[in-house]
Amino acid sequence: MLEQKEKNVVITGGGSGIGRATALAFAKKGAHVHIVDLNGTQADGVRQEIVALQGAASVHILDVSDQQQMIAAFNTIKPIDVLINSAGVSHIGKVETTTTEDFDRIYNVNVKGVYNSLFAAIPHMKARKKGVILNVSSVAAAVGINERFAYSMSKGAVHAMTLSVAKDYVGDNIRCNSGSPGRVHTPFVDGFLKKTYPGREQEMFEKLSKTQPIGRMGTPEEIANLILYLCSDEASFITGTDYAIDGGFITLNN
């Protein structure tokens, strides 16, 4: 089940968080994982973890907001069997507290970065008449979350791009889906709590965890397992769909 042997799998943002967990999950199933990340140290750390598991991995130090970098790298990676767009940054703020610089930063990575990745990968998939794409979205694309104006905008765009790509390339045997996590316990969460609530990290961690009906945050590994399934041959009848993986956040909080 869920085997990925002899497949080239490209994961943007593969150096940490959900991207790291996804890279490890695919490597365990036999894929050659291509870790795309701006942080070479983190990316190489994941590569070493995969090698320790007797898996295969390569590191590509890239800025996803630079289209020419992405095109050049993807031309060397080909063939591309699976593309996972996991690279992303966050921002906390309402519209009136979001500066132009904040907005542009979110847009360049979360929106333009996904577009650049799709632009670079789809011609290779189209030429081979096969491919699978998974975009990491967020529950923020579907519901209002306090002080997440720019981030929510970006994930709404990811959701729309997913639907467009799925429809435009279904005839080329390219599947495209998205996954929308709720709150997931990643290093970003720990850093945010330490910076914003010094001395109250545990208290606020528990408070944020309880905003999800299931009573806890998700783990990167849980998100990775969903991604692995949606990109597997077992999910060959699924395209143009977003899957919430959120501990009931969307449906049970309304």
What is the arithmetic mean of pLDDT over 25-43? 97
What is the model's pLDDT at position 187? 86
- Check pLDDT > 90 for residue 253: no
**Residues annotated catalytic, as ranges:** 151
What is the model's pLDDT at position 1? 80
Which sign does the torsion angle of CA 176, 115, 139, 19 carry?
A: positive
> What percent of the chain lies above the pLDDT cut of 90?
92
Query: Domain limits of the chain?
Result: 8-182+218-249
What is the arithmetic mean of pLDDT over 16-33? 97
The pLDDT tens digits for 61-91 are 999 999 999 999 999 998 999 999 999 999 9
Query: What gap in Å lies between CA 231 and CA 82, rounded to an integer?
Result: 7
The pLDDT tens digits for 176-212 are 999 999 999 998 889 889 988 999 999 999 999 998 9
What is the arithmetic mean of pLDDT over 103-131? 98
- 187 or 245, higher pLDDT: 245
Q: What dotted CATH number matches 8-182+218-249?
A: 3.40.50.720
| Residue positions counted in the chain | 254
Q: The pTM is what?
A: 0.95
What is the model's pLDDT at position 192? 83
What is the arithmetic mean of pLDDT over 6-19? 97
Query: What gap in Å lies between CA 174 and CA 135, rounded to an integer?
Result: 13
Reference 121, options 111, 132, 112; nearest CA is 132
What is the model's pLDDT at position 254? 63
